Amino acid sequence: MSSEPIRIFVGAVHSHRLLFEVLRWSIRRSTRRAVEVLSLGELLGDTLVLPKRPENRPGTPFSFQRFAIPMLAGGRGRAIYVDSDQILLRDIAEMYELPMRFGAKVLRRTANGPDGKLGLRGSSVMLMHCERLRDWSPQRIADDLDAGRYRYVDLMKLRPLWLKGSLPREWNAFDLHEPGRTCLLHYTSKEQQPWLSRGHPFEALWFEALYSGLDAGSVSQDAVDFSLAQGYVRPSLAWQITHRALDSRLVPSSLHAADDAFLDHCRQHNFNNLDGDYRLK
């Protein structure tokens, strides 16, 4: 395996700045390899091609970003895609070095498990062979969707793509931490994501990464302040960070009403309000 840095592309927009920095820190502190952790939102800006037909529009502002990775990687080598609402608990090099046999273009999670159904989340963590994916471009995918060659739901499950392999489920664990097994924890439940709501059963792992990142200077206070000022995270996060609390149950009850109003606003906009919900503009 090459000694070049592992390229990790993160599906994110500007409202995910704090999440991105926490994820990046969790990757860097856990690996023995050099890594490049890149925000797709920063790389692509407003240039991403989207389908013309409304029914084919992506479910989140970053859903289509992942399909630009082979192009951004110059059609060479391997790359990893992850969503921003995740943290690494093991060396990502272990996933990067998995064999991609029989011409596999992508490895992604396929197995259900104790963390629930797979749904559309299979492509939320991918090991990609960029040379084998040179024909995978946002423009082509947008055209195929508008031509009715497949549906958005099929695309996110990678059904139109031939030659796929499987990642062990511990590399994309949905809201479940199995000590000694889970390698990547994915906070998929919008109603419980630690930065949006209180009470996720494994929130302490995210907050530990946040606080250690702040102490190490790898997560910026500016990202915290920006996220709070813009309303991209729940109001009580300010108290929790100040007091370095791992357990959100310690948040004073006087702050609960503001949190509840924030979460209700998120629900009304299907949680896409955190980027203005481009589909409502």
Q: Quick check: is 279 in a domain? A: no
Residue 54's pLDDT band (cuts 50, 70, 90): confident
Band (116; pLDDT cuts 50, 70, 90): low
In this predicted model, what pLDDT tens digit does every residue of 132-143 receive, in sequence order?
999 888 889 899
Among residues 114, 145, 174, which one ends one of the domains? 174
35-39: strand order across its sheet = 35-39, 6-11, 78-83, 125-129, 106-109, 164-167
Do residues 19 and 147 both lie within one domain? yes
Question: What does the pLDDT average to over 40-46?
Answer: 92
Q: What is the DSSP string of the chain?
A: ---SPEEEEEE--GGGHHHHHHHHHHHHHH-SS-EEEEEHHHHHTT-----SSGGGS-SSTTGGGGGGHHHHTTT-SEEEEEESSEEE-S-HHHHHTS---TT-SEEEE---BTTB--TTGGGGEEEEEGGGGTT--HHHHHHHHHTTSS-HHHHHTTTT--SEEEE-GGGSEES---TTT-SEEE---TTT-TTTSS--TTHHHHHHHHHHHHHHTSS-HHHHHHHHHTT-S-TTHHHHHHTT-S-GGGS-GGGHHHHHHHHHHHHHTTTGGGGT-GGG-
Residue 159: pLDDT band (50, 70, 90) is: confident
- One domain, residues 150 and 260: no
Which pLDDT value is given to residue 144?
92
- Of 143, 174, 205, which one is at a domain's C-terminal end? 174
- What percent of the chain clears pLDDT 90, i.e. is strictly above it? 69
What pLDDT is recorded for position 273?
45
Both 148 and 227 in one domain: the answer is: no
Read off the pLDDT of each residue in 77-104 and give the average, rounded to a whole number.
Answer: 96
Q: Residue range 84-95: average pLDDT?
A: 98
Taking residues 92-96, what's their average pLDDT? 98
Give the pLDDT score at 121: 65
Are residues 21 and 103 located together in one domain of the fold?
Answer: yes
Q: Where a domain ends, among 148, 174, 200? A: 174
> Do 160 and 80 belong to one domain?
yes
Are 153 and 35 members of one domain?
A: yes
| Average pLDDT over the chain, rounded to an integer | 91
Q: Is residue 274 domain-resident?
A: no
277 lies in some domain: no
204 in the same domain as 162: no
Q: Which residue did the predictor score with more confidence, 213 or 64?
A: 213
User: Greater confidence, 118 or 90?
Assistant: 90
Q: Is the pLDDT of residue 122 over 60?
A: yes
Query: Greater confidence, 120 or 9?
Result: 9
Q: Is residue 276 part of a domain?
A: no
Q: What is the mean pLDDT of residues 180-206?
A: 96
CATH number of 151's domain: 3.90.550.10
Inside any domain, residue 179: no
Kindly tell me if the per-residue pLDDT of 39 is higher than 70: yes
Query: Mean pLDDT, to the nearest integer, of 197-216?
Result: 98
Domain coverage including residue 208: 184-269
13 within some domain:
yes
Position 178 pLDDT exceeds 60:
yes
For residues 145 and 27, membership in a common domain is answered with: yes
Contacts 24+ apart (CB under 8 A), 58-62: 58/152, 59/120, 59/152, 59/156, 60/272, 61/13, 61/272, 61/275, 61/278, 62/11, 62/12, 62/13, 62/16
Pairing type for strands 78-83 and 35-39 reads unpaired
Do 157 and 192 lie in a common domain? no
Q: Compute and round to an integer the Cα radius of gyration of the chain.
A: 19
Number of domains in the chain: 2
Domain identity same for 216 and 163: no
- Give the model's pLDDT for residue 131: 95
Q: Is 1 inside a domain boundary? A: no
**Cα–Cα distance for residue pair 104/122, rounded to 1 Å:** 16
- Indicate whether 160 belongs to any domain: yes
Whole-number pLDDT of residue 119:
61
pLDDT of residue 238: 98
Per-residue pLDDT tens digits for 215-253:
999 999 999 999 999 999 999 999 999 999 999 999 999
* 144 and 232 together in one domain: no
Domain shared by 11 and 118, yes or no: yes
